[in-house]
Amino acid sequence: MADSDGLIVVDALTKSFDSRDVLAGVSFTARHGEFVSVIGPSGCGKSTVFRMLAGLDTPDSGGIHFGRRDAEPTGSHCAYMPQKDLLFPWRTVLDNTILGLLVRGVPRAEARRRARELFPVFGLAGFEDARPAQLSGGMRQRAAMLRTVVQERDLLLLDEPFGALDSLTRTDMQSWLQEVWQRYRWTVLMITHDIREAVYLSDRVIVLSPRPATVRREVRVDLPRPRDLSILATPEFVALEQELLDVLHSG
């Protein structure tokens, strides 16, 4: 499976755990600067695919390719933001955001400089020396995302980044993420159970089948950007939501 324009190619991944088939040939691509969401039934293997992309697990067969740099470890291309923010309560917000850089061997002073530059963009200016307990849920998620972005990897993996937030905060965070993504044009793969979130944020939506997972449908979101919340009520948006619902509940 080759794609000369693809930053990432997920090629026919299979995986079993204790003789239970989880993935049965999952394939899709993401191009540079694209925002792609992955949806599917609970337990279908979405997070398993992400763990493979991050280099935390290996497929039984199939592969993952990043451009022409296949010789490099898979995880070296990705920055992974899990469902929980995982901020250490005893560290300041700034020192939480530099952990990935420190692990890579970046000197502390340089890591703090890089992270500090992003605090205004992420709505965290003035909270560099605060503790995580002093932040709202939305601010904690922005801090976790800053920690992910500052690593400057090819691909951001977001695993239900707003799943634990209340509805109003979640909507605010979706709008904020769209704004900063359009500014920086990161390549993003996001797992979500929220179909509306997937349509609102994405260029394409990959729909996985129940376990053992295959790709059931790829839906292109040809809605104009930037998108404000009024787009949620348009016939085009509603039709895309309905299409994805129908795919998820078919068969």
Question: How far is it, in rounded angstroms, from Cα 134 to Cα 24?
Answer: 44
How many domains is the chain partitioned into structurally?
A: 1
Pair 13, 26: CB distance under 8 Å:
yes
Taking the C-alpha atoms of residue 237 and residue 86, their distance in angstroms, rounded to an integer, is 34
Q: In the predicted model, is pLDDT for residue 139 greater than 70?
A: yes
Read off the pLDDT of each residue in 129-140 and give the average, rounded to a whole number: 94
Provide the token pair at 76. Answer: 């070296």
In a domain, 105, yes or no: no
CATH of the domain at 203: 3.40.50.300
Within-domain flag for 56: yes
- Three-state secondary-structure class, residue 226: coil
> Tens digits of per-residue pLDDT, 191-200?
999 999 999 9
For residue 82, what pLDDT is reported?
82
Rounded distance, CA 217 to CA 107, Å? 45
Quote the pTM value: 0.90
206 vs 218: CA distance, rounded Å: 5
Would 94 be classed as within a structural domain? no
> Is residue 101 included in any domain, yes or no?
no
Rounded distance between C-alpha atoms, residue 207 and residue 119, angstroms: 34
Summarize the confidence of residues 222-229 as an average pLDDT.
Answer: 93
In this structure, is residue 168 part of a structural domain?
yes
